[in-house]
Amino acid sequence: MKLALRLCYMPLLNRKVDYALLILCYLHHKIEGACAREIAQRFVLSRPFVANILKDLCQRDFVASHRGVKGGYLLKQQAAERTLADLIDALDDTVQLAECNTTPADGCCHLLDVCPIRVPIGEVHQRIRAVLEGVTLAELFQQSTMEAPVQLGLSKCEK
């Protein structure tokens, strides 16, 4: 009898951060900006979910919004120079490799005082954090290609 091995993983980026990266990349390549409907259609996502992410990105100064018939969202110029760590911190709790990497770590685990790997895991956590702080959004977006959707007649925002 064969046993199937199922690999499980925990992604470093949650779905909200993952989709925020897609949205920001799209806006990076679409200089004139875009509306939530257009972005949602481009990535086959829920428009309310995209709108909520865009609202959060506006509040955290990654994008600017403008109202009206030709309204939509634009990537702020300084957003591209912000880091992947900035985005994660803005939209989610900070990345933690283990619960005990937080300060204060009191009460996170009953083994806290005797754990032999707490310090080494803390060092790995710091390395990961340093990588995230060293990668700008511009670096991510410059390595990507984004084909704009074909637009016939009215733009998707005007419909």
Determine the average pLDDT of the residues in 112-134.
88
Quote the pTM value: 0.78
- What are the CA-CA distances from residue 2 to residues 5, 8, 126 (Å)? 9, 19, 40
Domain ranges of the chain: 15-142
Per-residue pLDDT at 152: 35
At residue 13 the predicted structure's pLDDT band, cuts being 50, 70 and 90, is confident
Tell me the three state secondary structure of residue 103: coil
H helices present in the chain, as ranges: 15-29, 36-43, 47-59, 84-91, 118-134, 137-142
pLDDT tops 70 at residue 9: no
* Domain spanning 15-142, CATH architecture: Orthogonal Bundle (1.10)
